[in-house]
């Protein structure tokens, strides 16, 4: 006997079993209790998968935020090493301007030195304005409290009219790029004289 039958064969043989025949009603292999148990298990799986999905979504959002922060920091601080090099040039320029200022005193009749000093002063001012435009600022810690994140102690100075722990002198200027210290200021800190 053939297991499969075509629609034509069924028509030719006739509908021997109609819908009113109780033997054709599908029998459920699972009882109602088993179906409820399976439904509860499926609901638990849905809750578990929903929770996993929410956690994965939150993790991906955190990764996106961190990546965005890294990109923004790279844009802001990508010029950090370049700024460190330029700060060295600014130091040389400042020392040269100070030397020219000492030589170009009013008692010295040499007008060339005076012009050199004025030119160096203009260059130094322009350089500092370019620094400020790009977020690089010179620290001015004299009179402020010592901060190990911004300053490096090179000497101790007797406190004359200053509170101990305040900065009395600066031997090398420090610089910050967008609030981040890229070069510590070398400072002398006031201490109580004994």
Per-residue model confidence as pLDDT tens digits over 163-184:
888 999 999 999 999 999 999 9
Residue 113's pLDDT is 82
Residue 32's pLDDT is 84
Task: Work out the angle between the directed axes of helices 80-103 and 111-133 (0-180°, nearest 10).
Answer: 160
Residue 77's pLDDT is 83
Query: pTM of the prediction?
Result: 0.63
Residue 24's pLDDT is 53
Relative to beta strand 151-158, strand 185-191 is parallel
Average pLDDT on 20-27 reads 52
CATH of domain 135-193: 2.30.22.10
The order of strands in the sheet holding 167-172 is: 151-158, 185-191, 167-172
* Residue boundaries of the structural domains of the chain: 40-133, 135-193
pLDDT one-digit tens code per residue, 49-96: 999 999 999 999 999 999 999 998 888 888 888 999 999 999 999 999
State the sign of the Cα–Cα–Cα–Cα dihedral 94, 98, 103, 106. positive
Residue 2's pLDDT is 45
Which string of b and e fits 92-130 if b means at least 16 CB within 10 Å? Answer: ebbeebeebbeebeeeeeeeebbebbeebeeebeebbee
pLDDT at 3 > cutoff 80: no
């Amino acid at each position: 006997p053939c297991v499969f039958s075509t629609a034509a064969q069924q028509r030719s043989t006739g509908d021997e079993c109609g819908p009113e025949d109780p033997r054709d009603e599908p029998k459920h292999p699972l009882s109602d209790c088993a179906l409820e148990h399976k439904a509860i298990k499926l609901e638990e799986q849905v809750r578990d998968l929903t929770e996993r999905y929410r956690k994965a979504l939150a993790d991906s959002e955190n990764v996106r935020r961190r990546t965005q922060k890294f990109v923004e920091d790279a844009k802001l601080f990508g010029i950090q090493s370049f700024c460190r090099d330029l700060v060295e040039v600014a130091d040389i320029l400042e020392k040269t301007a100070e030397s020219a200022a000492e030589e170009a005193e009013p008692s010295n009749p040499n007008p060339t030195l005076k012009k050199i000093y004025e030119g160096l002063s203009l260059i130094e001012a322009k350089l500092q304005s370019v620094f400020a435009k790009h977020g690089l600022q010179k620290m001015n810690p004299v009179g402020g409290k010592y901060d190990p994140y911004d300053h490096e102690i090179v000497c101790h100075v007797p406190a004359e009219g200053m509170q101990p722990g305040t900065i009395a002198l600066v031997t090398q200027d420090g610089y910050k790029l967008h609030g981040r210290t890229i070069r510590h200021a070398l400072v002398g800190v006031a201490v109580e004289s004994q």
